Amino acid sequence: MSHRMFPKEEYILKGHAACPGCGATLLLRHVLKALGPNTYLVIPACCTSVIAGPHPRSAFKVPVLHIAFAASAAAASGMIEALDKLGKPANVVVWAGDGGTVDIGIQALSGAAERGHNIIYICYDNEAYMNTGIQKSGSTPYKAWTTTTPTGNVSFKKDVPSIMVSHRVPIVATINPAYPNDIYEKLRKAQGIKDGLKYIHAFSPCPPGWRYDSSLTVKIARLAVETGIWVLYEVDHGKFRLTGPSKNLLDKDKRKPVKEYLKLQGRFAHLREEDIEEIQRLVDAQWESIAKLLKEQE
């Protein structure tokens, strides 16, 4: 699939307030190109609230509802109900960070999924509360530095996609900004499904929070997949399948060592060799679980 399939229309305008190399902005650019102009964004407090710019101006060329941290999925439920009553079919998309999803917003997300509201919920996961000072979130990786875990996070990242699978929503998928064609395919598929909430979990590199040079965003995003730390997959009506480059990474010998991903980021600079070995062991165990799941589905 060529990148030329993307429409030329841009829905994120020049002059936005994102940091250089912002993974979230790169993701949102491709998400909006996939979904098109008939899209309404619901954005809780997060980096993207700042990126859009101060009212009454906006860097986004689609309607946006900025909403309180915990209320995005509930607000999106109300919006899709109202649009249906008005006879105006549209894409209602929650665009929320990991803090607003895995911690503060998970209750509203669970409720919208249970009600089966026809919305697309996208969590762009930059693995900490970045715009308020890089504090740990429930999505911060094991051993990662944040301002509230100065010697490394001792807990593990919440697996929210699996939580959403347990809600039996029609589609759960992961995306990564290094693979825009995979983003396009998954968003177009989600757009075409009308019988419930569609959940997308997005890998979102953050140069200031992860402490790397902004020119490395796509390289780090690609290494996350190539090392197996970030798995590209979808669960379509309960059936799991790997997508993109992840399809070829079940064999451990085809995955790059996690060290190649970790060494580029200052948030992991304090790791000892035994820490890196432990993270490698955890990643390998995750892939063994995936192989077992795929075999059970045969």
- Residue 297: pLDDT over 60: yes
Question: Within a domain: residue 2?
Answer: no
- Residue 101: pLDDT over 70: yes
pLDDT at position 55: 85
Question: Within a domain: residue 1?
Answer: no
DSSP characters over the chain: --GGGS-S--SB-TT--PPTT-HHHHHHHHHHHHH-SSEEEEEESSHHHHHT-STT--SBSS-EEEE-GGGHHHHHHHHHHHHHHHT---EEEEEEESIIIIITTHHHHHHHHHHT---EEEEEE-SSBTTTT-B--TTPPTT--BTTBTT---S----HHHHHHHTT-SEEEEE-TT-HHHHHHHHHHHHH--SS-EEEEEE---HHHHT--GGGHHHHHHHHHHTTSS--EEEETTEEEE-GGGGG-SSGGGSPPHHHHHTT-GGGTT--HHHHHHHHHHHHHHHHHHHHHHHHH-
Question: Within a domain: residue 7?
Answer: no
Question: Within a domain: residue 60?
Answer: yes
pLDDT at position 77: 98
- Residue 25: pLDDT over 60: yes
- Residue 292: pLDDT over 70: yes
pLDDT at position 92: 98
Question: Within a domain: residue 13?
Answer: no
Please give the share of the chain, as a percent, with pLDDT higher than 70. 99
Number of domain units in the chain: 1
- Residue 10: pLDDT over 90: yes
Question: Within a domain: residue 205?
Answer: yes
pLDDT at position 6: 86
Question: Within a domain: residue 11?
Answer: no
- Residue 58: pLDDT over 60: yes
- pTM score above 0.85: yes
User: For 79-93, how does the pLDDT look when each residue is reduced to its tens digit (9 = 90+)?
Assistant: 999 999 999 999 999
Question: Within a domain: residue 12?
Answer: no
User: For 197-253, how does the pLDDT look when each residue is reduced to its tens digit (9 = 90+)?
Assistant: 999 999 999 999 999 999 999 999 999 999 999 999 999 999 999 999 999 999 999
What average pLDDT does the segment 35-49 reach?
Answer: 96
What's the sign of the alpha-carbon dihedral 17, 18, 24, 29? positive
Please give the share of the chain, as a percent, with pLDDT higher than 90. 95
CATH code for the domain in which residue 184 is found: 3.40.50.970
Residue 83: domain span? 23-297
Mean pLDDT, the chain, whole residue set: 96
- Residue 4: pLDDT over 60: no
- Residue 139: pLDDT over 70: yes
